[in-house]
Amino acid sequence: MKKLIFVSAGRCGTTRIAQILKEYLPVEFSVQHQMPFSRLANIIGNVFFYCGQSEKIKSKLYDFIIARYYQEKHFICTDPLTSMIIPREYINSKDVCIVHIFREPKEFAKSFFCFSREKSKSFIAHNFIPLWQIGIWPIENLINKNIQKKYSEIMELKNKYFEDNYSFNPNYIKVDMDKIFNSNFLENKIFNFFNYNISVTDKDLTIKVN
C-alpha cells in the first residue's frame, strides 16, 4: 500500500483537497480527511511536542487510526489533526510521500481565528480543551487581543517541526497552499507517486469549503 500524507498546521485547504481527490480517484484509493480518533491524535501529538516523542505510541496510534483503510490499494490522508504523529517507519519509507502544506502566516492566523468562532466544535476545542493547540492556553482565544499574532507564530513552530522531522522522507515536498490551488500540483503529484492520471478543472480548484 502506497500512502500519500498531507501534513499542515490546519486551514490549508485540506478539506477541499480530499473532496477533489475523492471525486477523481477510483475506489482502490482510500481518501480520508478527518478520521475517527484523530482529535485524540492531535492532543497526543501536541503533548509529544513539549515532552518528547514516543515512537512506540505514535506507531500504535497511527496504525490503529488508519487500520480500517488497509483493505484499499492506496491510502491518502489530508487530516491535519494527525500531522504531529507520523511514525518513523512511515517517514523513512519510499512507499510514503509526505506533502507539507504551508500558507502565508497572517492569512493562516486570520482563517484560523475565524474558524474557531464560526464552528461550535472548533470554538469548544480551541477555548476549553487543554493542549488542543500548542502554545495556547484555555480561553486565550477569547481574551488575548493579540491572538492572531500568536497563531502566526504557532504556524511557524509547526512548520519547523514538520521540516525537522519529516524532510527525511524520500518523497517529502513542501508546498505553498496557493500553488496547490493555482497549478497542476495535485495532478502531477498523483501521477508521479501513484502513476495514475487525473484531470482537475480550474473550477474545482476555486471552490472553497470549511
Question: pLDDT digit string (tens) for 60-72?
Answer: 999 999 999 988 8
CA-angle at 80, arms to 93 and 69, nearest 5°: 60
What pLDDT score was predicted for residue 35?
96
The most distant pair of C-alpha atoms in the chain lies apart, rounded to whole Å, by 50
* DSSP H/E element including 7: strand 2-7
Q: Is the pLDDT of residue 209 over 90?
A: no
How does the average pLDDT of the chain come out, rounded? 96
Q: For the whole model, what pTM was predicted?
A: 0.96
At 147, the pLDDT band (50, 70, 90 cuts) reads: very high
Helices (H), the chain: 14-24, 38-51, 55-66, 88-91, 105-118, 120-128, 140-143, 147-166, 177-180, 185-194, 202-206
What separation in angstroms does the CA of 141 have from each of 112, 116, 120, 131? Answer: 11, 8, 14, 13
Query: Domain residues of the chain, as ranges?
Result: 2-104+158-206
Q: Is the pLDDT of residue 119 over 90?
A: no
At 208, the pLDDT band (50, 70, 90 cuts) reads: confident
Residues contacting residue 195 through CB under 8 Å, at least 6 positions apart: none
Q: Is the pLDDT of residue 82 over 80?
A: yes
Cell of 7: 501534513
What pLDDT score was predicted for residue 38?
97
**Span 2-104+158-206: which CATH code?**
3.40.50
At 104, the pLDDT band (50, 70, 90 cuts) reads: very high
Q: Is the pLDDT of residue 210 over 90?
A: no
Q: What percent of the chain has pLDDT over 70?
A: 100
Question: pLDDT digit string (tens) for 31-62?
Answer: 999 999 999 999 999 999 999 999 999 999 99
At 118, the pLDDT band (50, 70, 90 cuts) reads: confident
Length of the chain: 210
Question: pLDDT digit string (tens) for 191-201?
Answer: 999 999 999 99
Section 75-90 average pLDDT: 98
